[in-house]
Structures are given as C-alpha cells and as structure tokens.
Amino acid sequence: MSRIAIAGFQHETNVFGATPADMHAFEIADSFPAFLRGEGVLTGTEGSTLPLAGFVRAAAADSDIELCPMLWCSAEPSAQVTDDAYAAITSDLLSGIAAAGQIDGIYLDLHGAMVTDSLEDGEGELLARLRDQVGPDMPVVASLDMHANITPDMVSNADALTVFRTYPHLDMAETGARAFAALRFLIDGGTLYKAMRHLPYIVPLHAQHTGSPPCDAIYADIAAAGTTATGWADLGIGFPLSDIHHTGPCLVGYGNDEAELQQMFDTLFMQICAAEDRFETRLWQPEQAVQHALDHLHAHPPETVRRVILADVQDNAGAGAPSDNTDILAALAAADAGPALIGMLDDSAAAEKAHQTGIGGVFSAALGAGTGQPSTPFSAEFEVVGLSDGIFDFTGEMYAGCTANTGPTAWLRLAGRQQIDIVVSSIRCQALDQAVFRHLGIQLEDYHILSVKSTVHYVADFEDLASLHLPVATNSLAPCDLQHIAFRRLRAGVRLGPKGPEWQPVTG
C-alpha cells in the first residue's frame, strides 16, 4: 500500500487589484468551498470538478493507494496574499506532512499565479520548502491552472506538473487525474526527464479562449503530443496581472526518454511561436459595444438572432477585479437598450438596501464603484424584483458540484426605463454559470442583451444563448490591454501581447 499526502492551496493574484487575500479570504466559502482540513478535504470536494477531486477519483480506482488529506483552501482572485496568511497556510501544510508518518508521494492542487506581499512566486517557494523538508527522492507532483505563470522553481522542485488545457476550465478534474497517473508512475520507480521554456510574448486573458484560434490548434497539438504518464507536454499560458519576472506562457514537457522528450518539446515550441500573429485581441468601448449590439439585433430577422453578450472582461472577479464597474450599465441606460441584464455587480450596501426594501419596493442608490477605482457610481431609482441569500448550486459544466455563496443578493430593475436589470451581490462572484441569474427566477431568454462580468469562463454555460459575443473594456482593475498596464517586474524584452512591443524596465 502506497500512502500519498494530498493538499491544495490556491490563489490567482492580480497585483493591481483592490483588496488583499488575508486569512479570512481563504476561510470563507465563495465560488469554492470554505477551508477544508483532514477528511473534510475528501468530503468537501467530493463530486466536484476540482483538480483534487479528479486526483482522488483516480486514486480510488487503485486498490494499492491510501490517501492522507492535509488541507485544501482557495480565495477569490484579488491582490496579493498577505504574508501572514501565506505563512500560516504553508506552515500548516508542511507540519501536516511532517506528522503524517511514512508517505510515498505528495500531490498538491495549486494554481501557479500566487504572489504574496513578499514573494513573486508563492508556489515555487512552497515547493522549495516542501523539497527541503522531504528530500530529493520523495515524488512530488502538482497540478496547475492554465493561467499559471510557471517558474524555474516550480519545475525544479516538483517531479512533474500537469496543467489545465481548456479555457473555460472544463478539464480541471482530468488534470488532477493526470497528476495521479504521473505520481503513480514515479512511486513505482519510473523516471521523468523535464523540459521548460518561456514564450517571447504574453497573451491577454480575453484572447486565451481554447475554443478559438489559435489556442484551439495549440492545445490540440499539446494533447496529441503525449497522453500518458511516461510522456506529455503542457502550456501554462500565463496570468499577465501577476506581473512577475516569469509572467507569460511557458511550455513544460516530461518523458521517460530524454531524446524523444526533447524532440517533441522543440516541435511544439516552434508551433506555438508560429501562432503569434493569429490571436484576436480587439476590445470594444462600452458605448460602441452597446450600439453594435443594437445594430446586430436590428439587422437580423428575429428567428436568426438569439441575443448579444457583452463580456465585461476587465471587471471580472475571476481575474481579481472588484466587479463593481457601471460603465456598461450607463451605456445601456443612455441608449435605452432593454431588455438587458447585467451581473454580478458587487455592492453589498445596495444588496442590503434591497433586502430591507423588499420585493416590489423602490429605492434610490448610487450603485457600484465602491472600491475607489476610476469609474463613476450609477445613481438612480431601482425596483426590487427578486431576492436571495446568495447560496445556490452551480449547474454549468465548469463548476457543477460546487455551491456558491454570494451573500445577500438582489435582482434590481432600473426604474422608469425599458427593462434594464442588474443582479447585485454582497460577495464577488464571476458570472460564469447561468445559476448566478436563474437561482433568482430570472429567465435569460427574456433579454436581448446580457452583460456578464467574466472574461472567457462564461462561454462554457452561455455560448448557446447568444449569436454575438463582444469583449468590452470598462475602466476597472483587470486590464486586458497589455500595453497600458504599469508592469514593474517583467523580464526585459518580452512582448506585450502577440506581435506587441517589447517591454523594457523604466529607469531613473
């Protein structure tokens, strides 16, 4: 019987975000479970699509494996993880492994884009401390998010890494299962050689959809290059908003034959580099996007047009933005462009006022823009159409099996206008699942325009609802226009976007 210690510690850090991830952020439930310990790691993730759940299901099919769960925690993407939270969770994890007795391997469910108050590379440091503790011979495997900024410390201190291959992330559990296969191979005495190399350009988040060119072809080639524990490649496409030296796409490869690995790796790297000029990076301004949506709806017969989705890609909670920007709401109201729906907008004061007012009541509020970001609150009267406690089950493919907690939540309607509705939450939540609207009784089919605060994840559950999708650039804290981000720590010479200018550090 082989004993495997398992744990998870996840955060995607946007260093330009408004709020840090302190210990409380990891303890509470949001889109993911609250802090889990011991056997709760297994019961709290059972039936979910999380990587750790996929690892556990794969291990359960192996009668020779005993799992030793340590902890699992996650915080909603935000600014840096506080040093106190990082130290506490890391110490807890390492102490648990030290106290676990004889173990034969370790699996970690990580993100790969964690930045703390003091560390650029939270995962690399965690893996280095773990390696110092368990020694060079202990098999250690980690799964990473596709948006990982993979670093040399991650690769050198883990025997293998597996990375999501889809965005929206529909293969999280599969990635965990691949990690189990790799760890099983290593425990049984197998050897894996490694290769890694960073691409010379960064890809903005809204251009990373793996269902669109060129990412569809890139990830198809990666999947075809190797599918077993004895040889594979993965591409962490990067999270630009972490702003570390190693930000951006990084190809990693593993194999038990060094020569075959290098040949496969070099071929893939050249193919990915050759795709640089095929990325679509256009962003629409709010007023421009609303007008284009209306033109599209008017220009096509009703039976051929479903609706238009305006993706508020720069105010996405899932990328660390505050989700309280009202630029699209203002543009919709100015054009009287109903029936339209927006969500989720994070404004706990407005949600509380809606609950106090009650369904059918009307109240005045200056909605949104509560984080001090350079945007304007939207002042108006709002009718309360529906209310919830914000606790509901996700129903889409990506998060099925997880329960959301958005705090007191309200369905509001802009008074005195053609139907323009807003879903307001008290805890940030990316609009990546129809359940964020439908749990309130909203029928999405009743609207011509949907505005979702999401970058790409929403596509998995919303794609079939719309005939046109437009990425919109609102004035918020998850910018996708890389040439206008105040980077400080990138490596000199990396290109800001496909075919973009080379970044150079500011001197003086």
> Has residue 172 got a pLDDT over 90?
yes
Q: Are residues 246 and 300 in the same domain?
A: no
Q: Are residues 226 and 327 in the same domain?
A: no
Digit-coded pLDDT (tens) for 320-356:
999 999 999 999 999 999 899 999 999 999 999 999 9
Q: How far apart are CA 409 and CA 503, in angstroms?
A: 42
pLDDT of residue 128: 98
Q: 224-254: b or e for each residue (b if 16 or more CB lie within 10 Å)?
A: ebbeebbbbbbbbbbbbbbbbbbbbbbbbbb
> Has residue 508 got a pLDDT over 70?
no
In-domain check, residue 324: yes
Strand 391-393 vs strand 403-405: parallel, antiparallel, or unpaired? antiparallel
pLDDT of residue 87: 98
Residue 460 corresponds to which amino acid?
A
Mean pLDDT confidence for 57-74: 97
Strand positions, DSSP E, 368-448:
378-388, 391-393, 403-405, 409-414, 420-425
Q: Are residues 263 and 314 in the same domain?
A: no
Digit-coded pLDDT (tens) for 265-306:
999 999 999 999 999 999 999 999 999 999 999 998 777 778
pTM value is 0.96
Q: How far apart are CA 473 and CA 327, in angstroms?
A: 9
Q: Which residue has tokens 């790799």?
A: 182
**Are the CB atoms for 214 and 235 separated by under 8 Å?**
no
Q: Are residues 217 and 74 in the same domain?
A: yes
In-domain check, residue 229: yes
In-domain check, residue 234: yes
Least confident of 152-156, 226-230, 243-247: 226-230
Task: Please count the CA atoms within 13 angstroms of the CA of 81 that sit on its side-chain side.
Answer: 31
As to burial, measured by CB atoms within 10 angstroms (0-12 exposed, 13-18 middle, 19+ buried), residue 18 is middle
Q: Are residues 192 and 87 in the same domain?
A: yes
Q: Are residues 306 and 248 in the same domain?
A: no
Which range marks the domain in which residue 84 is found?
2-278
In-domain check, residue 507: no
Q: How far apart are CA 327 and CA 269, in angstroms?
A: 40
Residue 208 binned pLDDT confidence (cut-offs 50, 70, 90): very high
- Helix ranges (H only) for 439-487 are 459-462
Q: How far apart are CA 297 and CA 152, in angstroms?
A: 49
Q: How far apart are CA 290 and CA 305, in angstroms?
A: 16
Least confident of 55-69, 172-186, 301-315, 383-397: 301-315
Q: Are residues 268 and 300 in the same domain?
A: no
Digit-coded pLDDT (tens) for 435-462:
999 999 999 999 999 999 999 999 999 9
As to burial, measured by CB atoms within 10 angstroms (0-12 exposed, 13-18 middle, 19+ buried), residue 302 is exposed
| Per-chain mean pLDDT for the chain | 95
Please give the full DSSP string across 480-505, using - where no structure is assigned.
Answer: --GGGS---SPPTT-BSSTT-PBP--
Digit-coded pLDDT (tens) for 259-274:
999 999 999 999 999 9
Q: Specify the CATH number for the domain of residue 148.
A: 3.40.50.2300
Q: Are residues 255 and 311 in the same domain?
A: no
Q: Are residues 214 and 312 in the same domain?
A: no
